A and B are shown apart, each in its own frame.
Chain A
């Protein structure tokens, strides 16, 4: 435990951009850095620059509520997120950084018959695919979270829940730092405050990227910028069906640990868990309109507080410390967009809506594979951009619009 300073830098900070890289990754969030890490580690592609217009982890990576789970509705989704969960479990050791990966058990509460029905659908699919997930009654919820008021203030009692014991939380920033360090140690360059202003395409192929610090030549570009995807894709005239909505969250003052589980209520549009520091980390549904802004709103935190007190009425005196917002790039089918684009050498990792953090490791791994082989990894084949033109959507939205 005793270590003497100075510790080495976690990530090198090269002074200048080189004129050429084998690959350029736009966006130093968890996804971009994970892709860089696996490119260097698994595919020997080390001459990589990760370009970040702000600071490392400035986007969704540092703004999400850090929940990890794999109880999705479709076979494609379950396989993909379950692989991510598996990678997450070993990630602290892999990256030699304690990510505070903490298995908590994830409850999605159902307050109505219709929600219960949807939960059963997910549970049945999950179980069929070997994911630990089941529909449970109030008695199991009471056992795992005795503080919860199952009567929910008396008017929308909790009828049951989808219980996913492997559901976990982790320290989100550290995931980006760990991947950044691992990538940097393997030769990847991370350039912060470096904004990509254009992508040069010649003969249908990527030739390089323009930045606020000059032109960089490269044959492979990965865009991993989530909410900024429409702006980056506009540079090459590629359309995506993304709608960007703000997604807000807030955090309480630290409390002595009392909430061991992750509690989600779809009916109440609420999720809450307690961080390792003791803060309650709380979120709600997307803002209902498109907006490219990370401003906060008062009605968000008012609504959230009301619903939280319906479930945990004794928390009235607990104070909310701060609120913030991130950008959620939503797809029509609630599944990501991953893989190749109409521009040769340009790869896309987008459509991360509200589910990006939990996919960080598997995205890194599969996008690295895709870049290295110029062929989509089998796990992400269903998430290809062309599915929208082909009307071959992934069925993840199935559950989302039912019974809420």
Chain B
């Protein structure tokens, strides 16, 4: 059995540590076994065991270790059996975890891809734009090789779908960040009566109060005090482990935790998200052992892990000195503090450090981290004094042995949410930091993100922001100073960047971008922040530039001789930190609509098809019969006896109000003013460009009330458009979408009357209830609207009943029709029957650019009305020659070839002359019939219609008059035999 490494770097118990020493946890990383404690992250458990190489970089595959320890260590990503791109610095360990680093060849220790670095001299920025493309034929070869080394983690194609819930929430005030500023803002606002939600990305609250301790026990006490105050306020909720990842219009905020997305509408927003510790740029600043001072402090105070044995602290602010104190107290031998500033530290922390007998070198930079063999650690720091212009003087360099360098040279505001919310950031020269200089109404900033650093000031600034927010939200007695207490020395160095002739001074660790890469990008003309980003990929990696954009801007500004104020920032976009697709998808809402009779169709053996958002019976399976024969038999039953089809998917709208007639006349092409109560009429709708978009039937129920059907797919769209137009035209009309509230079925065939009459109190006698009549009454006990229609070309009734009664009505009809040989029929038989009648199906026999004249639908357009949608366009189109015409075609009865498929082309003289829209074998006519758009010159009856079917074969039909069946419409109008 492999030996488990010991936790050689684990410190004794630390106040406030996050680990549970009672619960050891065994894990495997890269095949080796390690032990940590519950509460450790993958990175801290490994670091405690002396592991230094946690991952490899994206491009050069250089070893990388802990850098930020706050979820931004994007070179320490792991994968396991079912997860990928796990951030090791924040992924908690669990017993049995088996992980390995992503994107290595042969393991993280001796990744063979590391040899790409040998060529790095030949791989300057943008090199790949300048290579491999000649000759053209070879790029696919190179591409295959490049794709092998591209990317980070592997996918797991067998991983099951995770379904996560989503949550909706509201609050008066959302506070982002639970450091001193955020806590005090939340408390101040809650004390004034606001309902406050405070979110913290970290799994425990406190922000810097949890790790910037520097031997000050009162810091811990202060956090307890603040949390105690917060806990006493019932209207203040704190959610930890929750990231505000995006802020959209009107303070619609996306909050993510490990389990779900919460969509929150906040009336006001205080951003106290703090700052990201920024690295210095020097040679080998990326190697394991070089880390941000804040990361070293987190290791010590939160995880009780010794970051290094011997350290050099590179400082340009008070925080660096405080980190030196923390390190020394944790038993790290701090060799010295190298301060980039010529004047050094002015605060009392200088004496504190000096008192610990740590030497301080002012005006001195780390010129290079000296790499240990294999670059798997560092063995020292090469220090170098800076001249008056801030340039290094390498001749006077000095080598200091150490295994760690902690950097604290500046801070970049965590302003993602602020900027998404519309804040404009301006560069504050005295602070050397971007701070909000214009905030939209209802948006406030506090603490470090606002350029406020001293602990007392941050508390005060939080209070100020909380009270301002309360004032904005109308709470009396919440006066607050307008200006934040920005004072004291800059916490950020204006240019913590040290050039080195041999490079490897990284600006962006995600993307392995070195100082020279930026210089070269500029030389090539990519000299604005946005162009630089796109050419060099600066800031485009998984951490989205949180550690690189600021230094990138500093370098860009210096190279251009500008100030940062004019260099500007790239646009801030969601997300502030990456969000799993599962959280965004939630439970995946893909509604599928079923008619109320769905279960019966299933019992009857229906084969279902997707029609828009609906499932509809395509046909009803008969054992032993094939699909085509079944469909034909269903159609024959309608023609010869009687059939019933579920048409519950039709859109069903009720249009009522004093302007109902005027409204319908504007929406549709026909005329309806004179339509009598109890009568129905065909409806055709065009869009403003005159193109046919929908059709249906309007039934007049009362002078001011119409019942209107739409095609199955269009009901919601039509209802929406109608509502919009009703508002636009200011008409007194109401549009009710009853599509889901009603079920509907069409009983059709010569024996439909005799079946229905016993079930209804409506008098079905042809004289009492003529063709196109509409009656309200009861069918099988249910209140019903019955329309006499003729879509399939037989005597028939469309019966609309409340959805909950539909099954009973369906059952009664089938029962009553048993003796007459009734047969349920599906969509396919219906399509065949209506084709025999030459009736169009919108969307099948029309397309996005079909207008009535082309489709022979001019009879449905009453152009002399005052107005209807598309009228002007149609009147213009009337003056233009037709480009195509919808015609019927038929093959001779002797034709034995294939039935053309919809959308196959009509070919004339080797040119496209049209297309088939519908085609089928008609059992009634015993021949293949269809409809097609053809050029007008080919539309006369008797003209050959050559159709290319099956990819190559030309078959020839001839144009015939429509309809194919019962041209006098006698079967649907005259009393059935």
Contacts and interface: CB of A to CB of B under 8 A. Distances in A.
Contact of B146 (A276, A398, A400): A276
Interface in A105-126: 111-114, 117-118, 120-121, 124-125
B578 A255 contact: no
A173 interface: yes
B84 A318 contact: yes
Interface stretch (B585-593, B661-669, B799-807): B585-593
Chain B interface secondary structure, helix, strand, loop or mixed?
loop
A297 interface: yes
Contact of A395 (B525, B611, B849, B905): B849
Interface in B830-875: 843-844, 847-849, 873
A253 interface: yes
Contacts of A12: 525
B382 interface: no
Contacts, number: 293
A308 B85 contact: no
B585 A316 contact: yes
A6 B150 contact: no
Interface string B673-693: 000000000000000010001
B902 interface: yes
A173 to B, nearest CB: 5
Contact of A254 (B140, B542, B904, B948): B542
A322 B544 contact: yes
A75 B912 contact: yes
B534 A391 contact: no
A257 B524 contact: no
Contacts of B537: 277
Interface in A134-148: 147
B122 interface: yes
A92 B151 CA distance: 23
B901 interface: yes
Given A315-B581, A333-B849, A5 B535 contact: no
B528 interface: yes
Interface string A282-318: 0000000000000111100110111111100111111
A255 to B, nearest CB: 5
A253 B578 contact: yes
A372 interface: no
Contact of A306 (B128, B246, B590, B844): B590
Contact of A320 (B541, B579, B843, B848): B579
Nearest to A288: B720
B604 interface: no
Nearest to B689: A332
Contact of A316 (B136, B580, B915): B580
Interface in B770-821: none
B387 to A, nearest CB: 25
Nearest to B578: A319
A58 to B, nearest CB: 7
B254 interface: yes
Contacts of A316: 159, 161-162, 580-582, 585
A51 B73 CA distance: 41
Given A3-B124, A13-B527, A316-B580, A277 B151 contact: yes
A256 B248 contact: no
B904 A177 contact: no
Contact of B158 (A56, A310, A314): A314
Nearest to A13: B525
B745 to A, nearest CB: 22
Nearest to A174: B129
A198 interface: no
A89 interface: yes
Contact of A323 (B129, B150, B574, B903): B574
Contacts of A295: 248-249
B827 to A, nearest CB: 9
A1 B693 CA distance: 58
Contacts of B915: 121, 124
B85 to A, nearest CB: 5
A9 interface: yes
A398 B848 contact: yes
Interface in B233-285: 246, 248-249, 252, 254, 261, 263
Interface string A1-20: 11101111111110000000
B848 A401 contact: yes
A337 to B, nearest CB: 15
Interface residues of A, number: 101
B127 interface: yes
Contacts of A309: 161, 581-582, 585, 588
A375 interface: no
A256 B581 contact: no
A402 B849 CA distance: 10
B525 A9 contact: yes
B348 interface: no
B844 A56 contact: no
A156 interface: yes
A151 B406 CA distance: 53
A315 to B, nearest CB: 5
A298 B905 contact: no
Interface string B510-543: 0000001000100111111011001101000110
A256 B151 contact: yes
Nearest to B827: A113
Nearest to A275: B150
A320 B578 CA distance: 5
- Residue of B261, B535, B847, B902 contacting most chain A CB atoms (<10 Å): B847
B903 A117 contact: yes
A9 B542 contact: no
Given A124-B915, A155-B590, A321 B610 contact: no
A93 B134 contact: yes
A377 interface: no
A98 interface: yes
Nearest to B522: A9
A102 interface: yes
Given A103-B140, A309-B161, A57 B574 contact: no
Interface string B574-614: 11001111101110111010000000000000000111100
A9 B135 contact: no
B143 interface: yes
B955 interface: no
A195 B433 CA distance: 30
A97 B903 contact: no
B122 A2 contact: yes
Contact of A257 (B151, B582, B584, B948): B151
Contacts of B160: 313-314
Contacts of B689: 332, 393
B926 interface: no
B586 A5 contact: no
Given A314-B158, A391-B873, A7 B520 contact: yes
A128 B873 contact: no
Contacts of A315: 155, 581
A29 B128 CA distance: 22
B476 interface: no
A278 interface: yes
A306 B585 contact: yes
Contacts of A120: 901-904
B396 interface: no
Contacts of B713: 114
30 contacts: A6-B523, A7-B523, A9-B524, A12-B525, A93-B133, A96-B133, A98-B129, A98-B130, A114-B611, A117-B903, A128-B948, A156-B610, A171-B129, A173-B535, A254-B151, A255-B151, A296-B573, A298-B252, A298-B254, A306-B586, A313-B159, A313-B161, A315-B155, A316-B161, A317-B83, A317-B84, A319-B542, A319-B581, A399-B848, A401-B847
Given A9-B525, A120-B902, 13 more contacts: A5-B516, A10-B525, A57-B534, A112-B610, A128-B907, A304-B584, A316-B580, A318-B155, A320-B580, A322-B544, A333-B849, A393-B689, A402-B843
The 4 A-B residue pairs with the shortest CB-CB distance in the complex, in nearest-first order: A278-B151, A316-B582, A401-B848, A319-B578
